[in-house]
Amino acid sequence: MKNTIVVGAQWGDEGKGKLVDVLAEQSDLVVRFNGGGNAGHTVMHAGETYKFHYMPSGMLHNKLCILGTGVVINPKDLLEEIDSFTSSGHTPRLKISARAHVIFPHHQLIDAKEGGKIGTTGRGIGPAYSQKASRINLRILDIIADDAQSRIKDALRDVKDILIYEEIFTEDEYQKYCNSVSVEYAAYGKKFKPFITDTEDLVRIAGKVEETVLFEGAQGTLLDLNYGTYPFVTSSSTLAAAAFVGGGAIPGVPIRILGITKAYTTRVGEGPFPTELSGDAAINLREAGHEYGATTGRPRRVGHLDLFALRYAIRISGIQELAMTKIDTLALVDGIKVCTAYKIAGKEIDYFPADAPTLAQVEPVYTDVPAIAELTKAEWETLKGKSKDDLPESISSYIKFIEDFVEIPITILSHGPERNETIVF
Ligand code: IMP
């Protein structure tokens, strides 16, 4: 069986956690390859709700789960997540890349100061990745080293000027911070030791023994640092290609690239959102879909399905098939439309604008969509194992319209948060 890369095809929160949980059942390894505690997965199973920020959703299937080299890790938060999972009666099978970078409290303090204009999650993601790129950050292998405390103090010397200049700390506070954080993080390092390994090698060996690997991307394609709606993006690459760099996927090994899209669109934080709804229409859709951020609890911005943006995301990430989530939510609202083109100054454009102010000004061109049928759980149950043509006409024609526009098939339909509320075509 092929390996699979799962990526968000919008601005994140598409329901990747649920889909990874569903697909993990047939996988041997689940590998997260980007982002950090900015991601939030909610997985519901057997009446229990699990919230993960770091651990791949494959945890619930007792699969070997990996946090790859491309991930940035706040050790305190990850240890709390591991503890809470363990105390709910599970044993995490987790391995963490020795090369993954560490998020320190000063990254979060910088993020709190500077992240407002982007509307970041405040988890220190941008500052951690930028200090990684500047080659002044530490990796997990540093905090598990015997001389972790002195490595941490040395690294903090490199960022001292930034922290004082940015008025994050006074000289006095900086000294106290160095002393306390070096002790605290070296202690985390000790707890982390059993989890640390060369995770890329685990992925390589899995390929040799023909095990199936599921790569889990965080955030969404339109939040990609290079191709997203810059500067209103996250600080890592969210494309399928990042699974190779950050997760150890091996070029040449057959791979299936699955993009996840909601039946409509949402976005958290600042930045252009051409199909955004306002007023009662926004409130209705937000409440129908419980659209509040899993990490920050912020109300999500909501809007019509933007097929023009979705097609761009599919093209740049190389997405081969789609899973569509929350079709059940769309059945609860009126006045559904999909955006099929953008206009600037009254003229249709044939490209997705790279410039955020330009994207903010585009005028979406809409096609009206007939109301989506509302089905009971029992009615959905009867559709399991059936084809798309057996779905109610309003749903099958919605799917067909999307497939024709984006030129790839929708192979999975999710109609509720539970694992079994999923139809695979
Ligand atoms: P950061 O990743 O915390 O730096 O935030 C940068 C932008 O990405 C902000 O607009 C966030 O709201 C958004 N973002 C980051 N992670 C997620 C996610 O998991 N889902 C949705 N939006 C996210």
Grade residue 48 by pLDDT with cuts at 50, 70 and 90.
confident
Grade residue 371 by pLDDT with cuts at 50, 70 and 90.
very high
Distance, in Å, from the CA atom of 276 to the CA atom of 168, rounded to the nearest integer, reads 36
Å from CA of 234 to ligand 1 middle: 6
pTM of the model: 0.96
Residue 101 pLDDT > 70: yes
| pLDDT for the residue numbered 46 | 73
Atom of ligand 1 nearest to the CA of 115: 4
Å from CA of 8 to ligand 1 middle: 12
Backbone angles phi, psi at 270, to 5 degrees: -85, 175
**CA distances to 69, 278, 366 from 198, in Å:** 9, 48, 49
Q: Is 356 in the pocket of ligand 1 (CB under 6 A)?
A: no
CATH 3.90.170.10 given to domain 3-71+201-424: yes
Residue given tokens 């041997």 in the structure block: 28
Å from CA of 123 to ligand 1 middle: 9
| pLDDT for the residue numbered 1 | 61
Encoded tokens for 93: 């099978």
What percentage of the chain has pLDDT greater than the value 90? Answer: 88
Grade residue 320 by pLDDT with cuts at 50, 70 and 90.
very high
Looking at residue 28, the DSSP 8-state letter turns out to be: S
Distance, in Å, from the CA atom of 109 to the CA atom of 116, rounded to the nearest integer, reads 12
Question: What digits encode the pLDDT tens for the residues 278-296?
Answer: 999 999 999 999 999 887 8
**CA distances to 7, 286, 344 from 127, in Å:** 23, 31, 35
Q: Let me know: does 34 contact 238? Beta carbons within 8 Å.
A: yes
Name which residue sits closest to atom 8 of ligand 1, judged by CA.
234
Q: Is 249 in the pocket of ligand 1 (CB under 6 A)?
A: no
Name which residue sits closest to atom 20 of ligand 1, judged by CA.
12
Domain ranges in the chain? 3-71+201-424, 101-194
Q: Is 263 in the pocket of ligand 1 (CB under 6 A)?
A: no
Name which residue sits closest to atom 2 of ligand 1, judged by CA.
234
Q: Let me know: does 263 contact 326? Beta carbons within 8 Å.
A: yes
| pLDDT for the residue numbered 124 | 97
Provide the H-helix boundaries in 25-147. Answer: 75-87, 105-114, 125-133, 140-143
Name which residue sits closest to atom 9 of ligand 1, judged by CA.
120
Neighbours of 390 (CB within 10 A): 11
Q: Who's near 371: CB < 8 A, 6+ residues apart?
A: 331, 334, 336, 394
Q: Is 65 in the pocket of ligand 1 (CB under 6 A)?
A: no
The CATH architecture that domain 101-194 belongs to is: Orthogonal Bundle (1.10)
Å from CA of 345 to ligand 1 middle: 31
**Side-chain half-sphere of 34: how many Cα atoms within 13 Å?**
29
For the chain, give the mean pLDDT: 95
Q: Is 163 in the pocket of ligand 1 (CB under 6 A)?
A: no
Atom of ligand 1 nearest to the CA of 268: 12
Q: Let me know: does 382 contact 296? Beta carbons within 8 Å.
A: no
Q: Is 119 in the pocket of ligand 1 (CB under 6 A)?
A: yes
Q: Who's near 122: CB < 8 A, 6+ residues apart?
A: 108, 111, 112, 115, 296
| pLDDT for the residue numbered 267 | 97
Residue 171 pLDDT > 90: yes
